[in-house]
Structure 1
Amino acid sequence: MRSFYEFFAGGGMARAGLGSGWQCMFANDFDLKKGVVYRRNWGDDELRTGDIRAIMPSDLPGMADLAWASFPCQDLSLAGGGAGLKGERSGTFWPFWDLMSSLNAEKRGPRMIVLENVCGTLSSHSGKDFVAIGGALRKQGYRFGALVVDAALFLPQSRPRLFVVGVRDDVAVPPELLAEKAQDPWHTKQLRAAYEKLPAAAKAKWLWWRLPKPPQRSASLADLIEKEPTGVEWHSPAETEKLLGMMSAINLAKVEKAKLAGRVMVGGVYKRTRPNEDGVKVQRAEIRFDDISGCLRTPAGGSSRQVIVVVDGDQVRSRLISTRETARLMGLPDSYHLPPSYNEAYHLTGDGVAVPVVRHLAHHLFEPILGSNNRVREAA
């Protein structure tokens, strides 16, 4: 049984992705409401709810194989204020890292450390924040590499995320898990550019992870839509007409094309502020009919909640996406308990990590590394 700590745990989606072959030794999240959901789904034995700055090394039991940290993205996001790792929220990476450093000083640092965040981490502060993360890993004796994985490879949701995977220097990495150079689709142009900005000492610790591409995804957005949605109601014809009235000619043409598809078409809509033909900023409704959802985001207002449009011939209906549908888009089973509040459930799922992405990384990277080292230890 492999062991792990789960920091910035949210609803425990990293835990869901790691699966039953992993034992959670400790979990932490600042959000009390998320803590309620975590405990309902996973029990209350491992979770400590509260500020990560208040956690001491003595609170962390034993020595975990892996420490997972999906630290807050707001200051690293392209839509954020640009504070980066100096920001109040994303800057909580540093208290987490202080804990990892303390564990290393006690000779019980995790064998692997995985950091998950938005791809804006690569370019934040002109790449300096990514350099800082790499420097932190290097100084604590970890070799590391990074991958960009889009959940759309596994689920009908566009959700590219950065995963930085660090391995302690004394942990052997099977050679078949390493590539000589960057590989598509995991090492994007943006990631390669961030790597080039690393100083020589960090580059000397860099690993190009080799990861197989998953089988072609078969599920579409329409497959995940509830026939009888829970917690939301269909818009009235007038409300749907108003939504269509917010679309540009290009987006309205997409709706008209969907009417001719000969099957039920489901499109995802986000409302965004765009300049009109006169250069005046107006709120627009933008739709996509490519069988995937737009990226779920933590709602900070009505415009960030995704609306779906269902087109069946000439019939066009619209409504908010349901919270169960958002959970499905994150790869959570229908047995997963969501908060009863729409906003809290959307916040929980929009803040999470896609479950099958974690499982793919665990199966093809984490477990082979840790399994190889377990055999070495047993033989010794």
Structure 2
Amino acid sequence: MTAVAPLNLLAEALKFYTQGEIAERVGKNVRTIRRWESEKAGCPVIAEAALRELLAERMHRLPAPARPEFTFIDLFAGIGGIRRGFEAHGGECAFTSEWNDFSKKTYIENFGVAGHHFVGDIVPFPADAIPSHDVLLAGFPCQPFSIAGVSKKNSLGRPHGFECTTQGTLFYDVARIIDAKRPAAFLLENVKNLLSHDKGNTFKTILSVLRDELKYDVHYRVIDGQHFTPQHRERIVIVGFREATDFTFNDLLLPSAKPRLGSILHKTDGTEPFLEHDQDRFFDHGSAKVQSKYTLTPKLWEYLQAYADKHRAAGNGFGFGLVTPESVTRTLSARYFKDGSEILVAQDSGRRPRRLTPRECARLMGFPDSFVIPVSDTQSYRQFGNSVVVPVMQEVARIMIPRVKTLLGKSRDGAQQRLPLIV
């Protein structure tokens, strides 16, 4: 077995040098450095001396690193959409949890693992082992709660708060971490249907836990992403603060001029930017056309038309969503990879419509073109369909963080002790 140096030595070097600069110094290529960083391969001891020398050269002329504006943890992180919104306002991620291997690959490719823990399943992870943090972020899945047995436990004199009412759900893990770490604030994101899930009992329980048991000042609002990207996408955002604040969702600045689909489509007039990490995977720059594989096959197009006709005749509204550059699309779903029916882009010259490419899906969710898509089309469609509209998160963060800083200013006496970040 090859001996390896601690990965945090590479992590330190990556704070000051690019992968290319490190590769040149240790005599490896960039791909190797990327593999070391993503923990697919250990960092060989043979590179340790070069890394230490590189750090020594740098550290003697650098001031102490600036303290971040605030720290946060990223639970049920997906591909980091909520994280991007809070990093934009000076936050630093101290801990990440995401169980899906494909999402982890995309996340690590874009954010790396330097400077903080990255774990898979949060369920078995002890709350006390999570670093102290200022803000907890979580896009937790929607699950029903069962209160069966609560009265029996009560009659036996056993505690039955959120430990009983939410046990076995992923919200329980959010609640136990908030309870243990007492962050200054949290943001939870979910589908709009959370409000009506299980006849409203799920949301009622969530609010009761957050407000009555954990004693946080809680606010919520359904926000439509179409204010920022050309997609009708309603999601509920729940924020809470450790103490009462003057926070209000009325402070959100939601642009009234909604963007149209043409703003995120590949440009066929020769102005589509060439992205090194995409190459011609989605768009053929030589012919200035979207790759033909995204055009529906004759068989699939015939099936979708027949399916729509059948339901139209029955008086139902089911069918495909045909869009043009002037459209605002339906909600992009995680099942988009199956047939793309909710968003089909009309094409000229009588051609069959096409799916959005994964790069266009990234833009539809508000991710910049610098965001790397390292997984297959199928997985990338799932990931973007499950993600958040990044500018929505950034705008919510904008109105949250001043209140967070106010709370942190009250607790700089040590009540919010920070633990060292560990890799």
TM-score clears 0.5: yes
Gap change, CA 1:241 and 1:301, over 3 Å in 2: closer
State the match for 2:402 in structure 1.
368
Deviation at 1:235, TM superposition (A): 2.9
Aligned: 1:146 with 2:183: no
Cα deviation, 1:90-147, whole Å, max 9, x if unaligned, reads 92111222222222xxxxx111121100011111111111111011112111111101
State the match for 1:111 in structure 2.
184
Q: Do 1:331 and 1:356's aligned partners in 2 also have CA atoms closer than 8 Å? A: yes
Q: Do 2:323 and 2:346's aligned partners in 1 also have CA atoms closer than 8 Å? A: no
Measured in 2, the distance between the counterparts of 1:36 and 1:47 equals: 15
State the match for 1:275 in structure 2.
311
Between Structure 1 and Structure 2, the one with more strand by share is 1
Measured in 2, the distance between the counterparts of 1:233 and 1:6 equals: 35
Aligned: 1:308 with 2:344: yes
Aligned: 1:173 with 2:224: no
Q: Do 2:296 and 2:355's aligned partners in 1 also have CA atoms closer than 8 Å? A: no
Measured in 1, the distance between the counterparts of 2:267 and 2:195 equals: 40
**Aligned with 2:95 (options 26, 43, 47):** 26
Cα deviation, 1:190-233, whole Å, max 9, x if unaligned, reads xxxxxxxxxxxxxxxxxxx4223322345311121124644662
Aligned: 1:318 with 2:341: no
Measured in 1, the distance between the counterparts of 2:262 and 2:225 equals: 16
State the match for 1:126 in structure 2.
199
Q: Report the identity percentage.
A: 25
State the match for 2:302 in structure 1.
242
Cα deviation, 1:265-317, whole Å, max 9, x if unaligned, reads xxxxxxxxx635257x99843435562121111128724664422344x6444
Q: Do 2:347 and 2:354's aligned partners in 1 also have CA atoms closer than 8 Å? A: no
**SS at 2:295's partner residue?**
coil
Instruction: State how 1:141-290 maps to structure 2 within 5 Å.
Output: 141-169=215-243, 172-174=244-246, 177-178=247-248, 209-217=249-257, 219-227=259-267, 229-230=282-283, 233-235=293-295, 238=298, 242=302, 245-246=305-306, 275-277=311-313, 284-288=319-323
Instruction: State how 1:40-59 maps to structure 2 within 5 Å.
Output: 40-45=109-114, 46-59=116-129
Measured in 2, the distance between the counterparts of 1:134 and 1:349 equals: 28
Measured in 2, the distance between the counterparts of 1:291 and 1:52 equals: 39
Measured in 1, the distance between the counterparts of 2:210 and 2:107 equals: 29
Letter in 1 for 2:322: I
Q: Do 1:306 and 1:321's aligned partners in 2 also have CA atoms closer than 8 Å? A: no
Q: Do 1:3 and 1:65's aligned partners in 2 also have CA atoms closer than 8 Å? A: yes
Is the radius of gyration larger for structure 1 or structure 2?
A: 2
Measured in 1, the distance between the counterparts of 2:292 and 2:406 equals: 48
**SS at 1:6's partner residue?**
strand
TM-score in terms of structure 2 length = 0.64
Point out where structure 1 has 5 or more consecutive residues left out of the alignment. 76-83, 104-108, 179-208, 250-273
State the match for 2:25 in structure 1.
none
Aligned: 1:2 with 2:70: yes
TM-score in terms of structure 1 length = 0.71
Q: Pairwise CA RMSD of aligned residues?
A: 3.2
**Aligned with 1:66 (options 123, 135, 141):** 135
The count of corresponding residues between Structure 1 and Structure 2 is 304
